[in-house]
Amino acid sequence: MQCKEIMQVIEAAYPRSAALDFDNVGLLAGRAGKEVNRVYLALDATDAVIDRAIEAGADMLITHHPLIFSPMKRVTDEDFIGRRVVKLIQSDIAYYAMHTNYDVLGMATLSEKILGIKNSQVLDVTMCEDGNEEGIGRVGDLEKPMTLEECCVYVKHKLKLGSLKVFGDMNGTVSRLAVSPGSGKSAVAPAIAKGADVLVTGDIGHHDGLDAVEQGLAVIDAGHYGTEYIFIDDMKHFLEDKLPVLDVMTTPIVHPFQVI
């Protein structure tokens, strides 16, 4: 089937209109009329991912984070982003990104399910359609109260992580959890406003963490990748269910840094 037909199926569930204003989603390189038999899924369009997609004989690469984010005045092999775009086009691979539209309509519900949040509500509302609020993240109740230390172990288990960064009193009790996959600095204020005891997110800096704790919010920084790699398997199931004629391949789960 053609790339544009796959896009229609994806955008019926994750319309581009749901993306935040700053974002860049959709077909970012290649031909909409490209005949696609094999799709390759990844979180980021890195050099290694593109090479794997080429080696795998993929016709289409779908990532969560858009390779082209800031405006490009030229597309050449003289910078690393341009080289990737050139390689994709030379290899006739259609490249598609689904970022904050998926965050709003997929990632939030998925992370809520994985972490077992009950009585949930949208953490940061970004759209309201037919009376239904949608947005970034979720906040709700844990199955039972636990210490922050126990919550860290719980989150590590649920997200299958080797390490976490934590701000807060490890002996303090938490029962209401907010989750905002990805970069979560902007999630601190809504988490506090909606009564969360702990926020699970990524990319929290020193001052952001300290300031959150001062306002009564513990923060578990599970990493940007650690909270969003769940996109890969979720989209694999989506495509296999909606478009069983496609051969869907996924990049290996490899965390981008190690803690030693």
Q: What is the pLDDT along the chain (260 residues), one digit of tens a residue?
A: 999 999 999 999 999 999 999 999 999 999 999 999 999 999 999 999 999 999 999 999 999 999 999 999 999 999 999 999 999 999 999 999 999 999 999 999 999 999 999 999 999 999 998 889 999 999 999 999 999 999 999 999 999 999 999 999 999 999 999 999 999 999 999 999 999 999 999 999 999 999 999 999 999 999 999 999 999 999 999 999 999 999 999 999 999 988 88
Tell me what pLDDT residue 9 has.
98
Tell me what pLDDT residue 258 has.
87
* In a domain? residue 138: yes
Annotated ligand binding at 228? The verdict is yes
Q: Are residues 15 and 108 in the same domain?
A: no
Four-CA torsion 62, 67, 69, 74, nearest 10 degrees: -130
Q: Are residues 49 and 147 in the same domain?
A: no
Tell me what pLDDT residue 256 has.
92
Tell me what pLDDT residue 100 has.
98
Which letter does DSSP use for residue 2 in this model? B
The residue range of the domain holding 70 is 3-98+229-250
Describe the crossing of helices 230-242 and 108-115 by its angle, rounded to 10 degrees: 110
Q: Are residues 45 and 33 in the same domain?
A: yes
* In a domain? residue 258: no
Q: How many independent structural domains does the chain possess?
A: 2
Q: Is 47 exposed, middle or buried (0-12, 13-18, 19+ CB in 10 A)?
A: exposed
- Say which residues have a Cβ less than 8 Å from residue 21's Cβ, sequence separation at least 6: none
Spell out a b/e string for 48-76, using b for 16 or more CB atoms within 10 Å of the CB, else e: ebbebbbeeebbbbbbbbbbbeeeeeebe
Closest CA to 256 of 25, 43, 64, 53: 43
Tell me what pLDDT residue 130 has.
81
* In a domain? residue 257: no
Annotated ligand binding at 129? The verdict is no
Phi, psi (rounded to 5 degrees) for 126: -120, -15
Residue located via tokens 């080289």: 83
Q: Are residues 132 and 239 in the same domain?
A: no
Q: Are residues 24 and 7 in the same domain?
A: yes
CA distance 193 to 65: 28
For the whole prediction, is pTM greater than 0.85?
yes
Tokens of 141: 């109740």
* In a domain? residue 131: yes
Q: Are residues 153 and 245 in the same domain?
A: no
Q: Are residues 127 and 215 in the same domain?
A: yes
Annotated ligand binding at 103? The verdict is yes
Tell me what pLDDT residue 260 has.
84
**Could you give the maximum distance between any two Cα atoms of the chain, in Å?**
57
Tokens of 134: 């949608």
* In a domain? residue 59: yes
Annotated ligand binding at 99? The verdict is no
Q: Are residues 176 and 239 in the same domain?
A: no
Q: At 81, which CATH number? A: 3.40.1390.30
